[in-house]
Copies of this chain bind each other. A is one copy, B any other.
Amino acid sequence: MKDLSRRQRAILQFIESFLDQNDYPPTIRDIQRDLDISSTSVVDYNLKVLENRNHIRRNRNISRGIELVGRVNHRNVIAIPVIGQIAAGLPIPVPGDLEQADSAETVEVGADFAPNAGRDLFALRVKGHSMIDALINDGDVVVLRQQVTCENGETVAVWLRDEKETTLKRFYLEGERVRLQPANMTMEPIFTPANNVEIQGRLVTVLRSVV
């Protein structure tokens, strides 16, 4: 892995920084110019080495056909629109016209953290400490999948009609009533009639940026 010449390392590094600054890969001549290499063939030669060493992938006969192996590429990342806040006393904002929300803030998440991502994901910023029992803190961002039903055991955001309250709990339908179980195992569940529970979405991901 380390058997690269100084020039090859420089090329690799240039490609990385180029990709950081542009949304397209560099051309051979971009590389040549930046590194003051006398000929494109030299660049080509070294790119071939890098390709064999599996540091890059090349699409022949395609301009800018250089891809970095093992790099963050958009494919692994999805952007989820943050459409509002979630708090104990407030109903959850309706995901409504997610598509048009061009200007909306987004959070980016690795695909691992948003399995089966589709257009039905949306994110909310948590206000207040009411969801401590779900191990969710003030300021966290929760990603939800929009759905109005759920399987037993799934963690969902529900609106409790009587209490006029939003909460995040594991959902278990037990006959006529529903058991809402906090993620924190040391805490007690809530029992409530099934028709008091309105499912707003299923919890997919929690993101916390510690200050």
Interfacial residues, chain A to chain B (CB-CB below 8 A):
1, 19-25, 27, 59, 62-65, 67-68, 70-79, 100, 102, 106-113, 115, 129, 132, 135-137, 155, 183-186, 203-210
Contacts and interface: CB of A to CB of B under 8 A. Distances in A.
The list of the 10 closest CB pairs from A to B, nearest first, reads: A108-B110, A206-B208, A63-B63, A23-B67, A72-B79, A135-B135, A203-B210, A113-B209, A24-B64, A77-B108
A74 B19 contact: yes
A207 B113 contact: yes
Max chain B CB contacts within 10 Å: which of A68, A115, A132? A132
Contacts of A64: 24, 63-64
A110 B207 CA distance: 10
Contacts of A207: 113, 205-208
Contacts of A185: 129, 132
B63 A27 contact: yes
